[in-house]
Amino acid sequence: MHKEKSKIAIRVADLVEEINEFDFSCKASDFEGAELSAAGFTRDIQVNVVAEKNEGEVIITLKTSTLADFTCDICLAPISRRLSGSLKLYYVIGAPFEETQDWNEEYRFLDKSAESIDITGDVFETLLLSLPLKVTCTDNPDCKLYGSVEQNKESLAEEINSWQESLEKLKNKYR
Protein backbone atom coordinates (compact mmCIF):
# COMPACT_ATOMS: atom_id res chain seq x y z
CA MET A 1 0.00 0.00 0.00
CA HIS A 2 1.39 3.37 -0.99
CA LYS A 3 1.65 5.84 1.86
CA GLU A 4 0.74 9.34 0.74
CA LYS A 5 3.08 11.97 2.15
CA SER A 6 1.40 14.45 4.44
CA LYS A 7 1.02 18.03 3.36
CA ILE A 8 1.49 21.12 5.45
CA ALA A 9 -1.41 23.22 4.32
CA ILE A 10 -3.48 26.11 5.61
CA ARG A 11 -7.17 26.06 4.81
CA VAL A 12 -8.17 29.39 3.31
CA ALA A 13 -11.64 29.08 4.89
CA ASP A 14 -10.00 28.97 8.35
CA LEU A 15 -8.30 32.33 7.81
CA VAL A 16 -9.97 35.34 9.37
CA GLU A 17 -9.05 38.93 8.69
CA GLU A 18 -5.88 40.02 10.52
CA ILE A 19 -3.46 37.55 12.15
CA ASN A 20 -3.84 33.76 12.29
CA GLU A 21 -1.30 31.45 13.92
CA PHE A 22 -0.78 27.74 13.26
CA ASP A 23 1.67 25.21 14.69
CA PHE A 24 2.65 22.03 12.89
CA SER A 25 4.88 19.17 13.93
CA CYS A 26 6.37 16.80 11.39
CA LYS A 27 9.31 14.49 10.72
CA ALA A 28 11.76 14.29 7.85
CA SER A 29 10.05 11.10 6.68
CA ASP A 30 6.85 13.08 6.10
CA PHE A 31 8.46 14.76 3.09
CA GLU A 32 8.99 13.10 -0.28
CA GLY A 33 12.51 11.86 -0.92
CA ALA A 34 15.23 11.13 1.58
CA GLU A 35 17.12 14.45 1.41
CA LEU A 36 16.09 15.64 4.88
CA SER A 37 16.81 12.34 6.59
CA ALA A 38 20.19 12.10 4.89
CA ALA A 39 21.01 15.68 5.90
CA GLY A 40 20.61 14.91 9.61
CA PHE A 41 16.98 15.77 10.33
CA THR A 42 16.09 12.79 12.50
CA ARG A 43 14.01 14.46 15.21
CA ASP A 44 10.67 16.26 15.30
CA ILE A 45 10.45 19.44 13.24
CA GLN A 46 8.38 22.30 14.62
CA VAL A 47 6.79 24.70 12.15
CA ASN A 48 5.17 27.92 13.31
CA VAL A 49 3.08 29.72 10.71
CA VAL A 50 1.69 33.23 11.06
CA ALA A 51 -0.77 34.11 8.31
CA GLU A 52 -1.92 37.69 8.02
CA LYS A 53 -4.96 38.03 5.79
CA ASN A 54 -5.91 41.40 4.36
CA GLU A 55 -8.44 42.34 1.74
CA GLY A 56 -6.50 41.16 -1.30
CA GLU A 57 -3.51 39.27 0.03
CA VAL A 58 -2.23 36.74 2.53
CA ILE A 59 1.22 37.20 4.05
CA ILE A 60 2.65 34.01 5.50
CA THR A 61 5.65 33.95 7.79
CA LEU A 62 6.88 30.47 8.54
CA LYS A 63 9.55 29.56 11.10
CA THR A 64 11.12 26.14 11.41
CA SER A 65 12.97 24.76 14.41
CA THR A 66 14.52 21.37 15.08
CA LEU A 67 17.52 19.55 16.48
CA ALA A 68 19.64 17.96 13.78
CA ASP A 69 22.26 15.25 14.23
CA PHE A 70 25.61 15.65 12.48
CA THR A 71 29.16 14.40 12.75
CA CYS A 72 32.08 16.76 13.22
CA ASP A 73 33.84 17.41 9.91
CA ILE A 74 37.21 17.09 11.67
CA CYS A 75 37.02 14.36 14.32
CA LEU A 76 33.74 12.64 13.30
CA ALA A 77 32.26 13.00 16.79
CA PRO A 78 28.43 13.05 16.92
CA ILE A 79 26.99 16.55 17.32
CA SER A 80 23.44 17.82 17.80
CA ARG A 81 22.68 21.36 16.69
CA ARG A 82 19.53 23.46 16.94
CA LEU A 83 18.64 24.68 13.48
CA SER A 84 16.08 27.32 12.70
CA GLY A 85 14.97 29.08 9.57
CA SER A 86 12.33 31.49 8.42
CA LEU A 87 10.63 32.49 5.21
CA LYS A 88 8.09 35.12 4.28
CA LEU A 89 5.60 34.43 1.49
CA TYR A 90 3.19 36.84 -0.18
CA TYR A 91 0.03 35.56 -1.82
CA VAL A 92 -2.13 37.89 -3.92
CA ILE A 93 -5.72 36.69 -4.09
CA GLY A 94 -7.35 36.51 -7.50
CA ALA A 95 -5.04 38.67 -9.65
CA PRO A 96 -5.95 38.64 -13.34
CA PHE A 97 -3.51 36.81 -15.62
CA GLU A 98 -2.57 39.93 -17.64
CA GLU A 99 -1.31 41.70 -14.51
CA THR A 100 0.86 38.77 -13.42
CA GLN A 101 3.46 39.31 -16.13
CA ASP A 102 5.25 42.20 -14.41
CA TRP A 103 5.11 40.94 -10.81
CA ASN A 104 8.08 40.15 -8.65
CA GLU A 105 8.81 36.44 -8.18
CA GLU A 106 8.42 36.76 -4.40
CA TYR A 107 4.69 37.12 -4.89
CA ARG A 108 2.49 34.15 -5.58
CA PHE A 109 -1.03 34.13 -6.84
CA LEU A 110 -3.92 32.42 -5.12
CA ASP A 111 -7.10 31.65 -6.98
CA LYS A 112 -10.27 32.96 -5.31
CA SER A 113 -11.67 29.43 -5.27
CA ALA A 114 -8.57 27.86 -3.67
CA GLU A 115 -9.34 25.66 -0.68
CA SER A 116 -5.88 25.64 0.90
CA ILE A 117 -2.36 27.01 0.66
CA ASP A 118 0.20 24.19 0.50
CA ILE A 119 3.48 25.27 2.14
CA THR A 120 5.10 21.81 2.28
CA GLY A 121 7.69 22.66 -0.37
CA ASP A 122 8.50 25.96 1.32
CA VAL A 123 9.05 24.23 4.68
CA PHE A 124 11.29 21.69 2.93
CA GLU A 125 13.40 24.44 1.32
CA THR A 126 13.62 26.42 4.57
CA LEU A 127 14.92 23.34 6.36
CA LEU A 128 17.55 22.68 3.69
CA LEU A 129 18.65 26.31 3.73
CA SER A 130 19.12 26.19 7.51
CA LEU A 131 21.84 23.54 7.21
CA PRO A 132 25.34 24.76 8.12
CA LEU A 133 28.09 24.48 5.52
CA LYS A 134 30.65 23.20 8.03
CA VAL A 135 30.01 21.36 11.27
CA THR A 136 32.79 21.38 13.83
CA CYS A 137 32.85 20.72 17.54
CA THR A 138 34.70 23.38 19.48
CA ASP A 139 33.79 22.10 22.96
CA ASN A 140 34.59 18.42 22.47
CA PRO A 141 37.90 17.42 24.14
CA ASP A 142 38.16 14.40 21.82
CA CYS A 143 38.45 16.59 18.73
CA LYS A 144 42.14 16.62 17.81
CA LEU A 145 42.14 20.09 16.25
CA TYR A 146 40.27 21.96 18.97
CA GLY A 147 41.09 19.67 21.92
CA SER A 148 43.54 22.05 23.58
CA VAL A 149 42.17 25.57 23.49
CA GLU A 150 45.14 27.03 25.43
CA GLN A 151 47.64 25.48 23.04
CA ASN A 152 45.76 26.92 20.07
CA LYS A 153 45.73 30.40 21.65
CA GLU A 154 49.52 30.25 22.18
CA SER A 155 50.21 29.17 18.60
CA LEU A 156 47.87 31.89 17.32
CA ALA A 157 49.67 34.51 19.43
CA GLU A 158 53.05 33.34 18.06
CA GLU A 159 51.71 33.51 14.53
CA ILE A 160 50.43 37.06 15.05
CA ASN A 161 53.73 38.17 16.61
CA SER A 162 55.81 36.79 13.73
CA TRP A 163 53.50 38.47 11.22
CA GLN A 164 53.72 41.80 13.04
CA GLU A 165 57.54 41.56 13.23
CA SER A 166 57.74 40.90 9.50
CA LEU A 167 55.51 43.88 8.82
CA GLU A 168 57.64 46.10 11.08
CA LYS A 169 60.82 45.04 9.22
CA LEU A 170 59.17 45.81 5.91
CA LYS A 171 58.10 49.27 7.12
CA ASN A 172 61.64 50.06 8.32
CA LYS A 173 63.11 48.93 5.00
CA TYR A 174 61.10 51.52 3.02
CA ARG A 175 61.61 54.50 5.34
pLDDT tens digits, 111-165:
877 888 888 888 888 988 998 888 887 676 656 554 454 555 555 556 667 767 7
How far are the Cα atoms of 51, 136, 143 from residue 154, in angstroms, in the given order?
A: 52, 21, 18
Cα distances (Å, whole numbers) of residue 61 to 24, 107, 117, 167, 174: 13, 13, 13, 51, 58
The answer as to whether 3 is a domain residue is no
Whether residue 79 sits in one domain with residue 45 = yes
Per the structure, the count of domains in the chain is 2
Q: Does residue 155 lie within any of the structural domains? A: yes
Tens-place pLDDT, residues 129-140: 998 888 887 676
The Cα–Cα gap between 162 and 15 comes to 65
Q: What percent of the chain has pLDDT over 90?
A: 9
What is the chain's mean pLDDT, rounded?
A: 77
In this prediction, residue 85 carries a pLDDT of 92
Q: Are residues 70 and 86 in the same domain?
A: yes
pLDDT at residue 65, as a whole number:
92
The residue ranking higher by pLDDT, 64 or 78, is 64
Structural domain for 158, as ranges: 145-175
Q: Are 64 and 74 in contact (CB under 8 A)?
A: no
pLDDT confidence of residue 153: 56
Is residue 175, in this structure, part of any structural domain at all? yes
| pLDDT of 56 above 90 | no
In a domain, 2, yes or no: no
